[in-house]
A and B are shown apart, each in its own frame.
Chain A
């Protein structure tokens, strides 16, 4: 970098064109930094500072950098500096130059959140953003024009007092939101006007330039006072987010002192009030809407149903074991009532629990594909589970499958027993240990008894094989392929048993 500026101990003064002349600052700062000018030798002045000083200082000629010297700087710095340039701190442009010089020296400085200059920058950025956010929130438009005119014909005018120089910066928000309205936002730091096509920027305005009232404000105040719950008074929490400085321009804020003053007595009166006698309509409503309500608590098995559809209906309110409470719904079996072949799985999973249908998740899809490979028509078989509610452990946004215990399997056996009794299939296939345990009434080692034809508690034929989810969990690809083949072979054996 050039040493010229430093050698002569020259002082530079840069007068910016406006309070938000970040472009001007950036051009001057680039030239000064390239010339190696220390921040102590530079003063940036904004119009408000210039008009206050006794001597209206002209800009000093800036050092002319050598053509071949350039530098680049982190994008984050440029973005944050731009935001901070809207701050009302008169020293902001000097501070930003000081920071620029430091960042050139310490390329990682922007990432050191504990540095005091970085903290100052962050605080400025935060303050500007908060001011902008409060402007989006607390601007209150008042409509002018003929009271009878349609809503769209009028002009909507607001008076707002921001802390920082943000009016132009935030114009885009209001243009996107109220693109088809004519509006103006007047502030002591400048004003913006939109006519549905172009934005124009005007000089600072006075409060008296804005309309004094709008008939809709009466409705808004009605809403504000009624949405407030006097039993939950939290004045500090309100003021932390809506500081008093904003109140004078918000039509609803005048109600606040009375709402606070009356809150305690209103809350006490509610607690002290004696219960009243229900209105006559209450009895009529109960008669019309609730007299036919059944008192099926679902806590004991219902009388056995005569057909599968009635059984399914009964199962919807099942509360025989605690699994019903976390689960979404009973996932009952599915398939033709006259099926000759029944498959029994373990329990519904996440997908089945949401859809209310068995065998539609990843394991169900694998099952379907295998049946097709083995030449079994899926539409002719009945599929169901040993346990009809999903048992899981919550983990953030996911649910981890949990194995049902012996009691749960035993309790839910009532439903499976009814299903099998009504269908009376030629063969039932137990997919996995839980299904086998449920059907045979004893614990079963699937690996040992796989492929065998056994007899259920009711004397029906049962074929034992693995659950398809077992195949999904094998990490080794080669073994996985082998096990899939074995499972398919089991399904072929099932088909042959049916044909025999």
Chain B
């Protein structure tokens, strides 16, 4: 076999990495290179480019290798696939990361890998990439390591010393889904690894009041990803699963990845268009749980099929099912209530709370604070404004749903 060029390897191993949704580079400890080395992280993530799929490119997201002993039917790298295989050396990954970083293409590295030989061998090499970057090159940029759950906990410990973020994919929203589509993976092993990471973060991150020391172990926390649409799990179960994951492992994020067509797909899992709108609605619902005080079982309460409405956002859908809750008085209601109003985000709510200490808000004032007052009007009262029967009108959903794009015969 002739030797493959770095460029060929990069083509194969970035193509193989694109099904991981995360590209976050935010929320880590502050570092810079004024005392040596290269790079910085300042808290806010930076998206250095966007691909035509609308996804941010913040990190060099690649696999160390796409050879893999697992046979997960949704995955391009499964052992039964005929995809082209490649393998970076540790040094090649380190070089690429530094070359890209110095030209300001990236915030850092997101390294994942297929599993070769054994989980420990593969994880050991990934940790070595991170170690060389951090120690040998003084790299202060962002490192995200996709952790192999079956590896020795000692390797997890080391990974957390060099990486900003660790992530372990739960793969699918339910254990039965994992059993069916990723039969070699063990959901308990995955959860136990996430538990180990949470334990390590808590142990190293305990701050004393005096020093306020930033956590040194994976300072950007841990995250996970689940594939949506590869199995028939309804959204209500997905959200329940997310809520359990957030509360159990204190995750920064759960990523939802719409099951996407891959080259050389498995006969066991027919392809379809990726459910992008569903994925979007799940993220909105996830936000409702994390920032708007919604319990996971509240979001789809009263829905017949446990699925999020694709035509309207989940907060509006909830409001339409719970009209007795409205209208809400923007001059009196507390924060928790204001957050329930469709079309009002957390920033707008903060502004309303501040302004109303000095002025009584009229509808126009609310309109000046928010993006669009149309969606909000039926759900609030303000000085000189009451929606009257508007809140109860039958066709409110139709009036508030975005109009589908006009199509014409061609």
Contacts and interface: CB of A to CB of B under 8 A. Distances in A.
Contacts of B99: 151, 216, 219
A424 interface: no
Contacts of A141: 102-104
Contact of A229 (B6, B18, B184): B18
A328 interface: yes
B354 A111 contact: yes
Classify chain A: how many residues form its interface, as a range.
35 or more
A327 to B, nearest CB: 8
A100 to B, nearest CB: 19
Interface in B161-203: 174-175, 184, 187-188, 191-192, 194-195, 198-199
A113 B271 contact: no
A22 interface: no
A270 B355 contact: no
B284 interface: no
Interface stretch (B123-131, B335-343, B356-364, B391-399): B356-364
A204 to B, nearest CB: 21
Given A219-B10, A231-B273, A232-B276, A137 B46 contact: yes
Given A141-B103, A328-B192, 4 more contacts: A232-B53, A241-B47, A242-B49, A398-B247
Contacts of A343: none
Interface of B: 6-7, 10-12, 14-15, 17-19, 32-34, 36-40, 42, 44, 46-57, 60-62, 69, 71, 79-82, 96, 98-100, 102-105, 174-175, 184, 187-188, 191-192, 194-195, 198-199, 243-244, 246-248, 250, 258, 260-267, 271-274, 276, 289-290, 295-296, 351, 354-355, 357-359, 361, 364-366, 368-369
Given A151-B98, A219-B96, A177 B40 contact: yes
A263 B62 CA distance: 21
Contact of A232 (B17, B37, B62, B260): B260
A70 B199 CA distance: 56
A114 B355 contact: yes
B368 A241 contact: no
Contact of A176 (B34, B47, B184): B34
A219 B7 contact: yes
Contacts of A316: 188
Given A116-B368, A137-B48, A278-B80, A271 B271 contact: yes
A362 B44 CA distance: 36
Nearest to B31: A176
B234 to A, nearest CB: 16
Given A179-B32, A219-B6, A278-B82, A234 B247 contact: no
B32 A113 contact: no
B32 A226 contact: no
Contacts of A113: 351, 354-355, 368-369
A222 B14 CA distance: 9
B264 to A, nearest CB: 6
Contacts of B103: 140-143, 156, 214, 216-217, 220
A179 B33 contact: yes
Interface stretch (A29-37, A350-358, A435-443): A350-358
Nearest to A330: B188
A231 B274 contact: yes
Interface of A: 108, 111-116, 119, 133, 136-143, 151, 156, 158, 173, 175-181, 214, 216-220, 222-224, 226-238, 241-242, 250, 252, 256, 259-260, 263, 267, 270-271, 273, 275-276, 278-279, 281-282, 285-286, 288-290, 293, 316-317, 324-329, 353-356, 392, 394-399
Contacts of A218: 7
Contacts of A151: 98-99, 102
B36 A180 contact: yes
A112 to B, nearest CB: 6
24 contacts: A113-B369, A151-B98, A176-B40, A180-B37, A181-B38, A217-B103, A224-B49, A226-B10, A226-B11, A227-B14, A228-B51, A229-B260, A232-B274, A238-B53, A241-B56, A242-B49, A259-B52, A260-B52, A276-B82, A278-B79, A278-B80, A285-B79, A356-B195, A394-B244
B10 A156 contact: no
Contact of B71 (A250, A282, A399): A282
A194 B375 CA distance: 50
Contacts of B11: 222, 226
Contacts of B71: 282, 285-286
B7 A228 contact: no
Nearest to B44: A133
Which of A214, A227, A236, A267: most chain B CB closer than 10 A?
Answer: A227
B54 A271 contact: no
Contacts of A112: 355, 358-359
Contacts of A238: 50-54
Given A143-B103, A226-B14, A232 B354 contact: no
B287 to A, nearest CB: 13
A173 B43 CA distance: 12
Contacts of A142: 103
B27 to A, nearest CB: 15
A263 B195 CA distance: 40
Contact of B247 (A114, A137, A397): A397
A328 B191 contact: yes
A287 to B, nearest CB: 11
A46 B355 CA distance: 34
A267 to B, nearest CB: 6
B176 to A, nearest CB: 9
Contacts of B104: 139-141, 158
A226 B18 contact: yes
A270 B261 contact: yes
A355 B199 contact: yes
Nearest to A142: B103
